[in-house]
Each structure stands twice: as C-alpha cells, then as structure tokens.
Chains A and B, each alone.
Chain A
Amino acid sequence: MTHEDRRLDRDAGPVVRPYALTGGRTRPAGESIDLLALVASTEAGSVGDLFLEPEYLEVIRQCRQPKTVADLASDLNLPLGVVRILLSDMREHGFIVIRQPGSKRLADPRILKDVADALRRL
C-alpha cells in the first residue's frame, strides 16, 4: 500500500503541528508511559514558570488532580504520542510524577466482583 492510499483513510489526518511541540521527536525518552498511568503535577510544577510552553502549563493545571494519560490526551485533544513526549520531558524536569498502573489489581476477584456489581446497577 502506498502512503497516499493510507492517508486517504476516513479516520486519518495529518499531524504536523503537534510534532512541532516535540521538536519533531516521535518517541518519548525514558521509561515507557502506559495509557492508564496516572500523572500528577508536583510542587515544583505548581509553583509555575511563566516561561514554560503553554502546553506544559496546561498539563500542570490539568494534573493537579491525578489523571490518566488517556484522559489527559483526550482532554488536551492531542495525539497520544505527542502527549507521551511532553510528559517524558516534564517528568525529566520534575514538573510531574507518573505512576504506572499496577497489575495486581486485575488478579483480585474482590475488586472485579465490585466492578460487576456496580455495572449491574448502571
């Protein structure tokens, strides 16, 4: 399949501008960031730096209450890959902390029974 064919997909669109934010990088640095990892602003981030990029400030603002990467990307209306690069840069600067989701919970039938019960009440 040629590039042209693939670009004509109904779900597809160019993402040139968001990558200007990342200096053209397409991969985040450091440890990978899960879709459901929780992001929280740190005190250092909350002090605020007027010289930060507006996107940095927006992430700091949005993550005063911890938020998942997926929620953040959707709220910022930015592609996931771009958000991950922003987050890895911000983590390096200490503006945010990221906690990967735990896997033990999935193996806990009590939590899953709570989920099933809550779904039935939907």
Chain B
Amino acid sequence: MPSAGYDTDLDQVGPVSIKILVAGGFGAGKTTLVGAVSEIRPLRTEELLSEPGMQVDALDGVEQKTTTTVAMDFGRITVRRDLVLYLFGTPGQHRFWFMWDELALGALGAVVMADTRRLADCFPSVDYFERRGLPFVVAVNCFEGARRFHPDAVRAALDIDPGVPVVLCDARQRSSSRDVLVTLVEHAIRLISDDEVLSPT
C-alpha cells in the first residue's frame, strides 16, 4: 500500500468506489443486466498465451503470438458525487479465470446470472465465489419461452447455502436488474452485520 502523505490530496477529492462483479455462463444475460442499469462501455484486458514455464516477464520485444485481448462489460453508476458503483461483467469461461482473482479483490460482491436452460453454466461462478467467501446472489434470468422455476428449485439444483439469495429477474428491465443489485447490497450488509456481532471491534 502507498504510504500516507504523498497522496493526501487524492484522499480528499476522490470518490468512494464500490465494485460489483456480474458473472455467469455465456449468454446468461450479463451484458444485458449491466447495460440495463448503467452506462455500459467496453473495457479491454489482455490474455497472455504463454507456454508453461515460459518467462513472461522477460519477453524481448513484442510477442504477437502470446497476447490477445478480451472485452469485459464495464458499467458505472454514480450514486452520489462522492460514491460510485462499478459493475464488471466477467467472462464466464474457464480460460478467463486468470482475471477473476483480480476482479474479486476488494469487490463488494457478485451477481451470478443463471439461465435455467443451461444451469450448469453457472456452477463454476458459484463455486468460485463460495470458495472465495465473496457475498453473492443468484439472479435467474427469465428468458421468454424458458420454463419458469421457483427460486427454491434453482437453489436446490445449485446446492447453495440457504442464506444466499436466489431471485428471478428480467435482465432487460432496468427496475428488475436494479432490484438484483439492491438484493446483493442488502445481502452484503447482512453478512457484515453478522460478522460484527461475532467479532465486535
């Protein structure tokens, strides 16, 4: 961490930023949800396709074979002038896991988008957030034509903790997507309050 002092000015003018991840399988509605509640923009990141054991820090010159970019969904909601919420739509495929640790670092929590026609697609995300102890909610995106399931049925199928909220949503609707985020923030508040009861400091 930077030493206090040289960045004092930034402390006074900078807004508080809160990070929320939106995960889930391909086509489960991550982009739709981020776009419904925020001004969505692409954010590019790189994937290093290095051979195992290769010294990636010592690349000579530009190795065009070793890098490709990956586009993430990036949304911003200005809550107040001094409080900004950032949404990151994380690529759900296994090969993008290298990004997850960084994205999860310091995040408030995550929304896992689930499509009941391909429920297994969200297993890796659920596993990841459970293992990491990051608060998350499951948002079942109700696609037209897909059979409706009760949230409890989805919970049972995913085998998640009874405390984890499972909500139905229509990611195309701003109000519905907003409610998912509210559910996540309230869930995080509950978890923090529980922690404080257990370990008062």
Contact = CB atoms under 8 A, between A and B. Distances in A.
A68 B86 contact: yes
Nearest to A4: B65
A76 to B, nearest CB: 10
Interface string B46-64: 1111000000110111111
A11 B17 contact: no
A15 B178 contact: no
Contacts of B77: 119, 122
Interface in B152-201: 174, 178, 181-182, 185-186, 188-189, 192-193
The winner among B17, B48, B61, B88 for most chain A CB atoms within 10 A is B17
Contacts of A114: 79-80, 83
Interface string A78-108: 1111100000000000000111111101110
Interface stretch (A21-29, A45-53, A54-62): A21-29
Interface stretch (B4-12, B115-123, B141-149): B4-12
Size bracket of the B interface:
35 or more
A27 B57 CA distance: 6
Given A80-B44, A115-B83, A122-B77, A97 B189 contact: no
B54 to A, nearest CB: 11
Given A24-B59, A26-B57, A118 B80 contact: yes
Interface string B106-146: 10100000000000000000000000000000000000000
Interface residues of A, number: 56
Interface in B1-48: 1-2, 6-7, 9-11, 13-14, 16-19, 37, 41-48
Contacts of B88: 35, 70
B99 to A, nearest CB: 9
Contacts of A74: 41-43, 74
B44 A73 contact: yes
Contacts of A38: 10, 14, 17
Contacts of A14: 64, 67-69
Interface of A: 1, 3, 6-7, 9, 11-16, 19-20, 24-27, 31, 34-36, 38, 40, 66, 68, 70-71, 73-74, 77-82, 97-103, 105-107, 109, 111-116, 118-120, 122
6 contacts: A24-B62, A38-B17, A40-B9, A111-B18, A115-B79, A116-B182
